[in-house]
Amino acid sequence: MIAYVTVGADDIAAARRFYDAVLPALGYAVTEGAEGLSYVLPVAPGQAPVLPDYYVKPTFDGRPASAGNGAMVAFEARNQAQVRDLHAAALAAGGSDEGPPGFRDAYGPHFYVGYLRDPQGNKIALFSSDPTEPGRDG
C-alpha cells in the first residue's frame, strides 16, 4: 500500500492554489507549515489513517524542484462530471492542460481521465471508472 506521495515545489503559494482547487473536493484536508503543504484524508477517532497522504514541499537539498519524467500521480474522482469540473478548476488555479477529460482508446471502456501539470510541472491525472456511467462505446 502506498502511504504517501511527495512532490517538490519552488512556489508553495502557487502549488496551494492549484491543489486547493482539486484535493478538498476529493475529501483531502490541508495544513500548511514551514515544511510545506500536507493533504490528508480525515480519520475518525480510533481508526487507522486513510492513505495515501499527499505532500507538497520545498526540496530537501535546496536545489530547484523538478518534475519526474514519466512520473504521475492519479486521483480518483466520484464521476465523470467531477473529473471535468476539477480539471477546469485546476486549470483556472494555475495548472496546464496535459490532455482534456475524456476516454482514451488505450484504457478500458469506462476509464474517463483528464491530465494536468501543476505549476511546478508535476503530472496529475483525475479519473473515474464508474461502470454505471456511460462508457466510451455508448
* Segment 9-36 mean pLDDT: 97
Span 46-78, pLDDT tens digits: 999 999 999 999 998 999 999 988 899 999 999
Give the global pTM.
0.92
Choosing among 3.10.450.50, 3.20.20.150, 3.10.180.10, 3.40.50.720, the CATH entry for 4-128 is 3.10.180.10
Q: Which pLDDT does position 73 carry in this prediction?
A: 96
Q: Which pLDDT does position 1 carry in this prediction?
A: 75
Supply the DSSP string of the chain, one letter for each residue. Answer: ---EEEEE-S-HHHHHHHHHTTGGGGT-EEEEETTEEEEE----TTSPPPS-EEEEE--TTSSPP-PPTT-EEEEE-SSHHHHHHHHHHHHHTT-EEEEEEEE-TTS-TT-EEEEEE-TT--EEEEEE--TTS--TT-
- Domain borders along the chain are 4-128
Q: Which pLDDT does position 68 carry in this prediction?
A: 86
